[in-house]
């Protein structure tokens, strides 16, 4: 197995590792917190570290009192400035981290970190050519962010063991969709 060398033109994108997506949170992903040590271990390898946050207004259109999940209606989660929206406390956010908030428009769902944000321009300004994506949830925001990274012209790697998803079935579909879009899936152990 060839080790993957990390260079200055690589960025790590950590998607939505927030309290509400971890056990005990409003929209908990099973074992969502278990990816944190592996992410912390990778952070020092990268010069450019991006952290996205689901950052909704209290009246966001995806919120429902009777969430069905499968229809993409959700319990209220990651409301801006609340404890549920904070990064999982063990995640080691560097001082120079690039934090990208998304889903801030009450009338529009936005799973991707590239959706109406400065992320693509920020990465281009730093001459980033390749992004490594990990985080929560594989089947929603990781999927959307990785596919949009491809659409924005970045070589895109998803670190599978440093992601967790909402449902096993949709995770399978998401991996397929990402690969079809040109995303490469890797394991963190492959990174030199």
Positions touching Zn ion (CB under 5 A) are 54
> Is it true that the peptide bond before 137 is cis, omega within 30 degrees of 0?
yes
Residue showing tokens 């971890």: 22
Marked catalytic residue, from 10, 33, 102, 139: 102
Among 134, 140, 156, 164, binds ligand VGL (CB under 6 A): 140
12 strand-pairing partners: 49, 132
Give the nearest distance from C-beta 137 to Zn ion in angstroms: 10
In the complex with ligand VGL, which residue's Cβ is closer, 72 or 126?
72
CA–CA separation, 17 vs 173, rounded Å? 21
Give the nearest distance from C-beta 63 to Zn ion in angstroms: 8
How do the residues of the chain divide into helix, strand and coil, expressed in percent and rounded to 5?
A: 30, 25, 45
74 interacts with ligand VGL by CB under 6 A: yes
Any catalytic annotation for residue 179? no
Any catalytic annotation for residue 78? no
In the complex with ligand VGL, which residue's Cβ is closer, 16 or 33?
16
176: which DSSP letter? H
So which residues are the catalytic ones? 16, 102, 141
């Amino acid at each position: 197995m060839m080790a993957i060398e990390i260079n200055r033109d690589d960025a790590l994108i950590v998607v939505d590792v927030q309290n509400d997506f971890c056990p005990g949170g409003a929209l908990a992903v099973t074992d969502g917190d278990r990816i944190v040590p592996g992410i912390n271990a990778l952070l020092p390898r990268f010069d450019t570290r991006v952290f996205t946050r689901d950052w909704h207004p209290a009246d966001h259109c995806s919120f429902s009192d009777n969430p069905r999940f499968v229809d993409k209606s959700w319990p209220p989660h990651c409301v801006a400035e609340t404890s549920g929206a904070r990064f999982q406390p063990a995640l080691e956010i560097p001082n120079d981290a690039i934090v990208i908030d998304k889903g801030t428009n009450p009338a529009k769902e936005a799973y991707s970190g590239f959706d109406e944000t400065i992320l693509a321009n920020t990465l281009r300004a730093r001459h980033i050519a390749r992004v490594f994506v990990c985080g929560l949830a594989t089947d929603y925001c990781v999927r959307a962010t990785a596919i949009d990274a491809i659409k924005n012209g970045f070589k895109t790697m998803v670190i599978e063991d440093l992601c967790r998803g909402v449902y096993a079935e949709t995770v399978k579909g998401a991996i397929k969709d990402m690969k079809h879009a040109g995303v490469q899936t890797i394991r963190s152990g492959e990174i030199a």
